[in-house]
Structure 1
Amino acid sequence: MQTARLSWLGRFRFRQHWHRVLVLPWAVPLTCHLLVGPAYLSRPVSFVGATLLMALLVDRWFWGLNRATSAVVQRYPDLHQTGRRVVANVLVCLTVSACFLVATVALFSYLHLFGTTISVEEFFSTAKVVPRTQEWVSRTLGISLKPTLVPLLFYAFDLVVLLLVVLMYEAFYLLGQWQASKINFEQRRKASLQGQLQSLKNQVNPHFLFNTLNSLSSLIADEPRRAEEFVDEMANVYRYLLQTNEQELTPLAVELAFIQSYFHLLKTRHGSGLHLRIRVKEEFLGHRLPPLTLQMLVENAVKHNVIQTHKPLLIDIATTPAGGLRVRNNTQPKNTRVDSNHVGLANIAARYQLLAQAMPLVKADAEHFTVTVPLLAPAT
């Protein structure tokens, strides 16, 4: 039985049903007492019937508030718009609540439900509700209240309750945003680690290491100075791969410095058949992008295209007028099939999606393969 009880509690979501827990137990009998009058407590049929009907109406009131506040949240979703969102929610909730109260009083009054005798005009003019409320409050609190204070207390109490309702909505919204932000951060971190892992796999697979070490071996024998430079660039490549472990974004200038080292390894191996051209405006060097984005795109170009001296592969990295970064290479596909699971492009797209940024644009035709990725403004 205890397990079943815990299971039920686990399925119950306070965030979804808080109004039933915090508002219904007192709002329903209080409103019924004000509308129906003495018959509400003296007649069991009136008590049960009025309570059930009012509970249903109050539940529909909260349904309306949920819809209204959801519309406000869609209009002002960001954290810096909290002030506007709260003010808009207060105004919207006041409007919805006023309509609900008028409709409820009219329903009970015109149909004389459960012995209701008060009219809509009398209710809102407090001609009958004031003495009735004054007597009930005085008896409950054990003090004597002046009739002029009762309407003020009544409407002030309504306003306080409404403000508390808005604050509850805002608290749950901010809590949901915090949880979503935390989940989003973990997803971005996972995507970043997956991208780094894939890059490391690409660089430490036997084929890459064999070619790299073979190039190094040739340089050691014939050109010791170039061999020294090659080792330095190789160290820069692996150092950057390891240092990007915890980074979500990196400055474009840092990413370009890394790609120069990475291209140095590729250039040593492929010779004059491979060319890299970088045309990045200085004003964009401080902009950011997910680390290893350029490495994945350059590696993708080298992997899928023929690289020969008489048929060179040109990789062009340039900024666009719209503030993006375009990586383009001429298309000259290999005759043999290249094993590829498209992890690189998929990982780049996943990172931008988790960052809530525009997705990279991929364009392929008979002459060029182009990928344009957004650049994020520098951190302030």
Structure 2
Amino acid sequence: FFSFGIVVFGIYKRMKGAIIVLLALLICALINAITYYDISLFAGFGIILLSMFYILSVRTKEQRLAYEESLVQSTRLRLELLKKNIQPHFLMNTLTSLIDWVEESPQKGVAFIEALAQEFKLFNQIENQTLIPIGQEIELCRSHLDIMEYRKEIKYHWEEENIDP
């Protein structure tokens, strides 16, 4: 009776699997009414185990689906981050500046290409990381400033204070 009370409370709270457990208990009660105690004990235990294994397999399937969905969402967020970091407007302006530098001064154009390649290399390194070390973040900022120096033809100054790596 105590088990029936717990299962009815579970159904009242709309817990998953409570109806299956109630059906298993009802079948166990029916078997107990029909057969001897020894047989009904083992048969009832077997039915309860089968119902618990079924509920466990359903929950495992739900967890696997949730995990796969989180992987898809993680991939989507990674692509969004990459798309955000490589904005078409920024890329077009950078390539236009690159054309000017290559035409005017091939050596500075090569340095500009190297700075751009360094920034994309850093983007590629941090793309899959959930936590980025401050050293990499600073290196990415410096790389971006190098690109902006070529694009805007302005000398930027980087200062660091009290950074704990």
The bucket for the TM-score relative to the shorter chain is: 0.5 to 0.7
Q: Structure 1 pair 280/171, CA: closer, same or farther in 2 (3 Å)?
A: farther
- Which residue identity lines up with residue 144 of structure 2 in the other structure? Y
TM-score by length of 1: 0.31
Partner of 1:167: 53
Q: Structure 1 pair 267/237, CA: closer, same or farther in 2 (3 Å)?
A: same
Partner of 2:115: 233
Which shifted more, 243-252 or 264-273?
A: 243-252
Give the superposition deviation at 1:234: 1.8
Number of equivalent positions:
150
- 1:205-235 deviation line (CA, Å, top 9, x unaligned): 2x232235445666x38xx5x6654432222
What is the 5 A alignment of 1:246-261?
Answer: 247=128, 249=130, 251-252=132-133, 253-261=135-143
Partner of 1:184: 70
Greater RCO structure (CA 8 Å; 6+ sep): 2
CA distance in 1, matches of 2:67, 2:162: 35
Give the superposition deviation at 1:153: 2.3
Partner of 2:3: none
Give the superposition deviation at 1:193: 1.7
Q: Which has the higher helix share?
A: 2
Give the superposition deviation at 1:187: 2.1
Which ranges of structure 1 fall in alignment gaps of 5 or more residues? 1-59, 71-88, 106-122, 134-149, 283-380
What is the 5 A alignment of 1:1-380?
Answer: 64=11, 67-69=14-16, 129=33, 132-133=34-35, 150-200=36-86, 201-205=88-92, 207-214=93-100, 220=105, 224=107, 229-241=111-123, 243=124, 247=128, 249=130, 251-252=132-133, 253-268=135-150, 269=152, 271-272=154-155, 275=158, 277=160, 280-282=163-165
Q: Structure 1 pair 202/255, CA: closer, same or farther in 2 (3 Å)?
A: farther
Q: Secondary structure at the match of 1:184?
A: helix
CA distance in 1, matches of 2:75, 2:157: 33
TM-score by length of 2: 0.62
Provide the identity percentage: 11
- Name which one, 1 or 2, has greater alpha-carbon Rg: 1
Q: Which has the higher strand share?
A: 1
Which ranges of structure 2 fall in alignment gaps of 5 or more residues? 1-6
Aligned CA-pair RMSD: 4.2
Q: Is the 8 A contact 1:189 1:246 kept in 2?
A: no
Q: Secondary structure at the match of 1:67?
A: coil
CA distance in 2, matches of 1:256, 1:66: 52
Q: Secondary structure at the match of 1:247?
A: coil
Give the superposition deviation at 1:158: 1.8
CA distance in 1, matches of 2:125, 2:148: 21
Q: Is the 8 A contact 2:98 2:109 kept in 1?
A: no
- 1:270-297 deviation line (CA, Å, top 9, x unaligned): 5246656475422xxxxxxxxxxxxxxx
CA distance in 1, matches of 2:79, 2:38: 61
CA distance in 2, matches of 1:66, 1:170: 19
CA distance in 2, matches of 1:278, 1:161: 68
- Which residue identity lines up with residue 182 of structure 1 in the other structure? E
Q: Is the 8 A contact 2:145 2:156 kept in 1?
A: no
Q: Structure 1 pair 217/276, CA: closer, same or farther in 2 (3 Å)?
A: farther
Q: Secondary structure at the match of 2:142?
A: helix
CA distance in 2, matches of 1:229, 1:240: 17
Q: Is the 8 A contact 2:122 2:140 kept in 1?
A: yes
Give the superposition deviation at 1:178: 0.9
CA distance in 2, matches of 1:157, 1:66: 29
